């Protein structure tokens, strides 16, 4: 008998992206959002093969895009054997149900995709609990489409009377699990609070910024540690704290989860406890990827999230990272002498609008010593104010 061989390798799923251009958005901005969505898909392990966009006053209530566009997507999905269709905005439960019925493939929205990445990245008990809580809160209003095959009430001996439909049973189970996870998070929070109290003697510095700007690389450079750093979104999910000593000043440096545009609200809520490191920090280091064509939008997104966390009044140092990859043409800067010198960067509008600011390349170790000096001066100032009779610095 001839032996059969089966391919057990995990097949990369083929993905189609869908976005809507409303009057508030430009085509260029929507293109950039979809490029970021493509990066999210790649981070999750998918392969984007095509992108569909449609100009609308507002997304369609029932199917998000118009019926003609949905038919066009359906034809492509069938012809190219697409596995998943991802929408750039959060879909309502009814939109997801209608689109799924029409396209007959797996449908994800931006929130769902981010949750999936978070689930694969979570390492600690806290991160896993936070992600599970966010997933259940996302799932709760979307239960209907999971139980379309069960329309009848439960029956049988001991179950007669008002009865309880399967969907109601599941809703009750999920609500119970949500309250259980919230209690577990409160317990983890109390444990973390105790840990933080033990660290109160030292000045605390937190790295914040958009996702994939190089926060973990800077953390590894300053703390000589081995925090996981990768050119993917949300490589860091668990907050990492390391003790750093610059000259004679010790302080605690924490690396936090990166921010992103259109971050689902319930996800921010669930990760509030992780972001306590940001709230309780004395100094924030706002890391910016200066090589990104729309880094100004990223700065705005981070500042808005920091405003939500009520930490905008903290001492902040803006670190423009990746200057080695900076391309003036991406920012409509017309100069003859490229690349820009450090003096050009220091006298640019970037430095003036985000003072105090410094320009570095963490991977190439460019201008790193100047950054350490700036950080040393900031930590030393707070340390001497807080502990005026501490002989550590003398």
321 marked as part of a ligand binding site: yes
Helix-, strand-, coil-residue percentages of the chain, each rounded to 5:
45, 20, 35
362 marked as part of a ligand binding site: yes
| CB-count burial class (<10 Å; 0-12, 13-18, 19+) for 46 | buried
DSSP label at residue 141: G
Q: Are 355 and 286 in contact (CB under 8 A)?
A: no
14 marked as part of a ligand binding site: no
322 marked as part of a ligand binding site: yes
Q: How far apart are CA 259 and CA 279, in angstroms?
A: 15
28 marked as part of a ligand binding site: no
Q: How far apart are CA 26 and CA 273, in angstroms?
A: 35
326 marked as part of a ligand binding site: no
255 marked as part of a ligand binding site: yes
214 marked as part of a ligand binding site: yes
94 marked as part of a ligand binding site: no
227 marked as part of a ligand binding site: no
163 marked as part of a ligand binding site: no
Place of tokens 């896993």: 128
363 marked as part of a ligand binding site: yes
213 marked as part of a ligand binding site: yes
Q: Under DSSP, is residue 187 helix (H, G, I), strand (E, B) or coil? A: helix
210 marked as part of a ligand binding site: yes
33: left (phi over 0), alpha (psi -120 to 50) or beta: alpha
Q: Are 255 and 215 in contact (CB under 8 A)?
A: yes
DSSP 346-382: HTSHHHHHT-SEEE-BTTTTBTHHHHHHHHHHHHHHH
Q: How far is CA 265 from CA 21, 181, 213, 259, in A?
A: 22, 18, 22, 12
216 marked as part of a ligand binding site: yes
337 marked as part of a ligand binding site: no
180 marked as part of a ligand binding site: no
Q: Are 52 and 69 in contact (CB under 8 A)?
A: yes
234 marked as part of a ligand binding site: yes
Q: Are 73 and 85 in contact (CB under 8 A)?
A: yes
Indicate the annotated binding residues: 209-216, 234-238, 255-258, 321-324, 361-363
Indicate the annotated binding residues for Mg(2+): 216, 236
Indicate the annotated binding residues for GTP: 209-216, 234-238, 255-258, 321-324, 361-363
């Amino acid at each position: 008998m001839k032996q059969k061989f089966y391919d057990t390798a995990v097949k990369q799923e083929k993905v189609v992206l869908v976005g809507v251009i409303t009057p508030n958005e430009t085509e260029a901005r929507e293109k950039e959002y979809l490029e970021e969505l493509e990066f999210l898909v790649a981070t999750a392990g998918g392969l984007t093969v095509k992108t569909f966009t449609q100009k609308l006053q507002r997304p369609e209530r029932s199917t998000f895009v118009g019926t003609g566009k949905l038919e066009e997507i359906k034809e492509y999905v069938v012809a190219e054997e697409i596995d998943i269709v991802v929408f750039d905005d959060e879909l309502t439960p009814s939109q997801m149900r209608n689109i799924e019925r029409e396209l007959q493939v797996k449908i994800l929205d931006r929130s769902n995709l981010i949750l999936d990445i978070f689930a694969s990245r979570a390492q600690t008990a806290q991160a896993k609990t936070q992600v599970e809580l966010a997933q259940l809160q996302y799932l709760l209003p979307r239960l209907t489409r999971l139980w379309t095959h069960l329309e009848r009430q439960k029956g049988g001996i001991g179950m007669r009377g008002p009865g309880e439909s399967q969907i109601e049973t599941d809703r009750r189970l999920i609500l119970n699990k949500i309250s259980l996870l919230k209690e577990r998070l409160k317990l983890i929070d109390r444990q973390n609070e105790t840990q933080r109290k033990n660290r109160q003697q030292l000045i605390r510095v937190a790295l914040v910024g958009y996702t994939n700007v190089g926060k973990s690389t800077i953390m590894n450079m300053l703390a000589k540690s081995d925090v996981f750093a990768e050119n993917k979104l949300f490589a860091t999910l668990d907050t990492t704290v390391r003790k750093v000593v610059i000259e004679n000043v010790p302080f605690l440096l924490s690396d936090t989860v990166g921010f992103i545009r259109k971050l689902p609200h319930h996800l921010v809520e669930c990760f509030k406890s992780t972001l306590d490191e940001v709230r309780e920090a004395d100094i924030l280091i706002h890391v910016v990827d200066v090589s990104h064509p729309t880094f100004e939008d990223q700065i705005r997104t981070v500042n808005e999230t920091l405003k939500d966390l009520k930490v905008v009044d903290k001492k902040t140092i803006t670190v423009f990272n990746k200057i080695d990859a900076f391309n003036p043409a991406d920012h409509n800067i017309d100069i003859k002498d490229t690349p820009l010198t450090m003096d050009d960067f220091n006298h640019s509008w970037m430095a003036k609008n985000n003072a105090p600011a410094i320009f570095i390349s963490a991977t190439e170790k460019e201008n790193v010593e100047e950054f350490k000096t700036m950080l040393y001066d900031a930590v030393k100032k707070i340390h001497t104010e807080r502990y005026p009779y501490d002989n550590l610095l003398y």
